[in-house]
Amino acid sequence: MSPTRFFRMLLLRWHRRVGVVLLVFIVMLVVTGIAINHSTGWGFDKTFVQQNWLLNYYGIAAPELRSYRDHDNWLTQSDVKLYLNKTDIGRCDGKLLGAVKHNNLWFVLCEGRLQLLNHYGARLDDVSETLGLPKGATAIGATSDAVYVRAKAAIIQFDPDLLSFTEVDGDSSDIRWARPADAPDTLRQYWHSAHRGKGVSWERVLLDLHSGRLFGPVGVIVTDIAAVFLLLLALSGVWVWITKPGRWRN
């Protein structure tokens, strides 16, 4: 057997094997390539991922929610944003420690800051530790007559008219301290969507899948290697076709 014929038979054998191995990769490239070419017409550039597992994979995790309830109204911290039901009412840079409704006003205690909001969530006052909020305030509560904060071992009454704090003695068992609660699923889904924004478009997912970036640096390397093998597959196919015995006989 001549060297050319031997080499041709060897290429034929490996050509088939490599082709089978690359089949899935070829199908993925073809499907994603066509989808990317038509992404505008098919709306992939304006359709956004809603699947939690895929958003988490892209690092857009759902925020931790901390909610407080007054009848049918929910005041919630989502990441650093504050919401009154579905209305964005500002931010709480530290942890939301509590929120109570008293005399038609919201009293919202964040780490190192007490915010006063009206019934609709508009900010009326903002009291930080430098403006008098007791250091280390950890909880907020209310009775029918007043609003209180707990700081270390002390119970302190807050006067919203004077923005002053007065430590109180005696029985504090009638104070209703704010406790977090689980908001309805419809609101939770809204806050999650608001935090993630539009997130990731399906066009971006298709591009990342097509290039291998969806699977990180390893995916890019594997895609590059597969592309090289595709090139070799094409070149070897042409060579096998050219060197077929009798190909150039008249």
Global pTM value: 0.67
pLDDT class of 158 with cuts at 50, 70, 90: very high
> Residues 222-226: contacts with CB within 8 Å, 24+ apart?
223/25, 226/22, 226/25
Q: Are 84 and 115 in contact (CB under 8 A)?
A: no
Q: Which residue has the higher pLDDT, 46 or 89?
A: 89
Indicate whether 144 and 101 sit together in one domain. yes
With respect to residue 167, please indicate whether it lies within any of the assigned structural domains. yes
Which of 9-13, 184-188, 206-210, 234-238 has the lowest average pLDDT? 9-13
With respect to residue 43, please indicate whether it lies within any of the assigned structural domains. yes
If 0-12 CB within 10 Å is exposed, 13-18 middle and 19+ buried, where does residue 89 land?
Answer: buried
With respect to residue 54, please indicate whether it lies within any of the assigned structural domains. no
Number of domains the chain is built from: 2
> Would you state the pLDDT for residue 128?
94
The answer to whether residue 129 scores a pLDDT higher than 80 is yes
With respect to residue 248, please indicate whether it lies within any of the assigned structural domains. no
> Would you state the pLDDT for residue 172?
79
Closest of 238, 205, 181, 184 to residue 50, by C-alpha: 205
Indicate whether 133 and 14 sit together in one domain. no
Indicate whether 113 and 224 sit together in one domain. no
With respect to residue 59, please indicate whether it lies within any of the assigned structural domains. no
The answer to whether residue 59 scores a pLDDT higher than 90 is no
Q: What is the mean pLDDT of the chain?
A: 87
> Would you state the pLDDT for residue 62?
81
Extended strands (E) in the chain: 65-70, 73-78, 81-84, 87-91, 96-102, 105-110, 113-117, 123-128, 137-142, 147-151, 154-159, 164-168, 176-177
With respect to residue 40, please indicate whether it lies within any of the assigned structural domains. yes
Indicate whether 158 and 87 sit together in one domain. yes
Domain that holds residue 34: 3-47+201-242
